[in-house]
Chain A
Amino acid sequence: MTPDHPLYLWMLILLAFLATDIWRWFGVLLAHRISPESLMMKWVNAVAYAMVCGVMVLVVVHPSGIVASSGLIARLPALLITMVIMIRSGQTLIAVLAGALTFLGLDWLFPLS
């Protein structure tokens, strides 16, 4: 099927769906083979946390999509301020809002283009 075929994009969407949900289905099957209290289950969880945090830090450091139109000079201080407030106060909402405002202010002061 060539890219100019009318159903090309729909085939791509269907394949992307399978490429995603196959992992979800494997996950269900795998979960049934690992004992809940085992070290293996702990390892799987630890890897999942490390991966998710990796994905999220990469959004801050090497973003794609709409956030990519901002500089690291706005993104990195925003993350650091969020972390500092979180450690000091433990208030998720305040920490995230302060981080967002820092991002907004620095992106306005130092636009990328």
Chain B
Amino acid sequence: MGGVRQIRPKLTQSQDIMPSDLTPISDPRRVVLMAMRDVVGIPGLGLFFSMVGFAAIAREAGFGLAEALATSALVWGMPGQVAMVSLYLAGASVAVIVMAVALANMRMMLMVVSTVDLIGFRRFGTGLVKQLISVHFLAITTWIQLAVVRGRVADQAMFIYFLGFALPLYIIGLLGTCLGFYLIDIVPIWLLKTIVFTTPLYILMMVAKIRSLLFRQAGLVGGLLAPLLYPVLGEWAILVAGIVGGSLVMLPRFLAARKVRRRRLNKGQRP
């Protein structure tokens, strides 16, 4: 990952760095424009065609346009949507389908905790209802984008960036679901497949760009563990890979913190 680290602007006094690289953007209009510019490109394109792909399998499963659109709008999480549609097609019971969707989307909870921290909902005293509504629009693409632009966008403008990125992405996703119903007959399968396949590549490369070495390591361990555990654990592999991977990279820090605590305790006992 050495090469990745080199491209980041170093926060030194060197001449070749533009002032804009050093000062975070806080002007709301510029932040919204920046967010919307960031959506256009691989994030928007990948999500649009993922939703086209979803509409294709939803139609095959017997969903109407309204039902497919409602699923994208209300669930807004690809792994859960695909699980729901394919289990429905297989004739699974309601309980099985709902459990599968819940399992596939459990990671949302941790992504939301991370996002609430990144946006600074607590620090800026955003109302609870506003927060609960906002997080509905969170997708993996948006979360990783927030982590990457952190520092380039001023802390107080992160919520504006979130809205400027997540809401257009939501509209693009719903458009993809709608058009997917008809596009699937026109777009050749090889093209659709290739564009859908760029999403995992893109998300993984975005994780590689995150500033925190700890989180990059967590991603690496999780990414290696999940396919190894999958043959044994099936869909549970993601949950287990996440908890084991995350805990593994955190272990040195937990141990160090315990050492400090113990040292403090020992000092406290001495008169």
Interfacial residues, chain A to chain B (CB-CB below 8 A)? 1, 3, 9-17, 19-28, 30-32, 34, 36, 39, 41-62, 64-67, 69-70, 75, 78-79, 82-83, 86-90, 92-93, 95-96, 99-100, 103-104, 107-108
Question: Which A residues are CB-close (under 8 A) to B79?
Answer: 55
Distance in angstroms from B59 CB to nearest chain A CB is 12
Question: Which A residues are CB-close (under 8 A) to B197?
Answer: 59, 67, 70, 75, 78, 100, 103
Interface size on B, residues (CB 8 A): 110
Distance in angstroms from B243 CB to nearest chain A CB is 6
5 contacts between A and B (CB under 8 A): A13-B74, A44-B114, A50-B245, A51-B238, A96-B202
On whether the beta carbons of A16 and B80 are closer than 8 Å, the reply is yes
Interfacial residues, chain B to chain A (CB-CB below 8 A)? 1-4, 6-7, 41-42, 53-54, 56-57, 63, 67, 70-71, 74-77, 79-84, 86, 88, 91, 94, 97-99, 101-102, 105-117, 121-123, 128, 131-132, 135-136, 138, 140, 143-144, 189-190, 192-210, 214-216, 218-227, 230, 237-239, 241-247, 249-250, 253-254, 257
On whether the beta carbons of B245 and A86 are closer than 8 Å, the reply is no
Known A15-B94, A47-B242; contact A27-B111, beta-carbon cutoff 8 A: yes
Q: 11 additional contacts, CB 8 Å, given A47-B246, A59-B199, A92-B42?
A: A3-B91, A23-B102, A23-B105, A23-B109, A31-B122, A43-B250, A45-B215, A48-B113, A52-B222, A58-B227, A75-B197
Question: Which B residues are CB-close (under 8 A) to A17?
Answer: 74-75
Question: Which B residues are CB-close (under 8 A) to A79?
Answer: 200-201, 204
